[in-house]
Amino acid sequence: MAKAIGQFKFLQFSDVHLDSRLSLLKLPLSLSERQQRRREILEAFLLALEVAKLEEVDAVLIPGDLWHNETIRGVTLTKIIAACAALGDVPVVIAPGDRDCYSADSFYNDQVLQVHGLPTWSENVHVFKTKDFSTFKHPYHPEVAFTGRALTNPDPQPERPLACSVARDERLPINILLLCGSIDGYIGVDRESEIAPFSPFTAEELEEAQFTYAALGHYHDYTEVLSGNGNILGAYSGSLAGRGFDELGPRFALLGTIHNSDFGARQCTIEPLELDRRRMIMVSTDISGLTGEDMIDEITMNIEEQGGRIENDLVFLHLEGNYRIDSNPKTVIETLQEHYYNVAVMDYTRPDYLSESFDYRTTEAKFVESLLAMKKNVEHTGGAFDTNLDRSSVIEDALYYGLDALRQKRVTVRDVD
């Protein structure tokens, strides 16, 4: 995409979390697969910088969490530093976040890199190193300035960074803010798991700060922040590559263009770019009454509807319902695992034993009659807040597991249990 005269182009991404511990994020991967996934996340970062070259951007913006301080490896740092240097004069502007926070022993510090025998950052890389906001001008675009700050510890920070006026170069037409923090009203899954906000702010505070654009980091879902009249104030690119099933679907870097509007004011447009080779997909499927082939078709259709792609993607599959006795979900799951890169399954299904008629003279019939009567009695005597509802579920489990033992001579334990 060619750049018109007077436009300023940038590539933004954040929350790459290089070398983070994937094993803690509910990915059903072997050690070698986790190592491969870490390499793929690094490849997504390197690809982002290649895109910056191809698009001839004027700056790369990274507002937080490029890596994890406690796990980042020297070989990864060497590749990061070399890739940034390969951009030549294009500024790479970094605002350290809570995972890669800046401190005296941070790898953003050249002296620390030298102590470890690692290459130092090239001149085109600018890292904000204080918790207070600072501003610097673009070295080759005198009309552009960047403002940002670093998080200096990994703990939640309740102070509101935009509650007071943030200095910007009012003489310049383009002022870009880099901020790692929690915007009020964000509804992504990672907000639910956040113990406390990091440097919280509101869209209204961001609009009052009067920056041309704000590159935001910390949250993992692509989210635009709009002004009262619908213009883009800033955006979270979200995580660059998925690391767990709380980062579903496509992950993005943002190709942004700041240009003059029809009314002479500066505006920004954004194009999300998917650079990760894989997607994390989560689906729920009721397989009641389906044959094995129909199960595969139904599950595959649901995966495709969520954007899942054969061979490439990691799938978290939630199965529920009562399956036909002549069907076997285990065989279906094995088939799906051959189709996709990796499939994790939570199996809440049961065989549909009770749709059959039982000969009242058999052990099976007497067992079923006894357990159903016990279950009915518990449910009848229990109140709305009674623990008898839990006892009813236990009895139902006993019923199906007993029929498993009688029919199959083995018991298949559901994941829910």
pLDDT score recorded for residue 357: 79
- Asked whether residue 386 carries a pLDDT value surpassing 60, the answer given is no
Domain count for the chain: 3
pLDDT score recorded for residue 400: 82
Burial 332-354 (b: 16+ CB within 10 A, else e): bbebbbebbbbbbbebebbbbbe
Same domain, 123 and 255: yes
pTM of the model: 0.89
Same domain, 56 and 127: yes
Query: Which phi and psi (to 5°) does residue 404 adopt?
Result: -55, -50
The domain in which residue 369 lies consists of 357-417
Same domain, 85 and 42: yes
Strands 213-217 and 232-236: parallel
Q: Is residue 293 domain-resident?
A: yes
Q: Average pLDDT of 349-364? A: 83
Same domain, 49 and 68: yes
Q: Is residue 2 domain-resident?
A: no
Q: Is residue 228 domain-resident?
A: yes
* CB of 179 closer than 8 Å to CB of 161: yes
Q: pLDDT by residue (tens digit) across 39-90?
A: 999 999 999 999 999 999 999 999 999 999 999 999 999 999 999 999 999 9
Same domain, 253 and 293: no
**Boundary of a domain, candidates 259, 274, 289:** 274
pLDDT score recorded for residue 119: 98
Same domain, 236 and 363: no
Same domain, 296 and 181: no
Same domain, 323 and 195: no
* CB of 128 closer than 8 Å to CB of 96: yes
**Boundary of a domain, candidates 274, 299, 329:** 274
pLDDT score recorded for residue 24: 47
Same domain, 170 and 318: no
pLDDT score recorded for residue 4: 59
Same domain, 242 and 309: no
Q: Is residue 44 domain-resident?
A: yes
Q: What is the CATH number of the domain that holds 248?
A: 3.60.21.10
Alpha helix (H) residue ranges in 269-387: 292-305, 329-339, 363-381
Give the residue, 280 or 291, on which the prediction is more confident: 280
Q: Is residue 37 domain-resident?
A: yes
Q: Is residue 3 domain-resident?
A: no
Q: Is residue 16 domain-resident?
A: yes
* Mean pLDDT, the chain, integer: 91
- If phi > 0 it is left, if psi is from -120 to 50 it is alpha, else beta; for residue 266 that is beta
Give the residue, 251 or 193, on which the prediction is more confident: 251
In angstroms, the Cα distances linking 392 to 1, 335, 379, 403 are 63, 34, 6, 17
Q: pLDDT by residue (tens digit) across 304-354?
A: 999 999 999 999 999 999 888 878 888 899 999 999 999 999 988 888 888
Same domain, 336 and 373: no
Q: Which tokens hold the place of 367?
A: 């067992």
Q: Which of 5, 12, 6 is nearest to 270 (CA)?
A: 12
Same domain, 388 and 266: no
Q: pLDDT by residue (tens digit) across 78-126?
A: 999 999 999 999 999 999 999 999 999 999 999 999 999 999 999 999 9
**Boundary of a domain, candidates 354, 381, 407:** 354
Q: Is residue 252 domain-resident?
A: yes
**From CA 320, how far away is CA 304, in angstroms rounded?**
19
The number of angstroms, rounded, from the C-alpha of 39 to the middle of its chain's C-alpha atoms is: 17
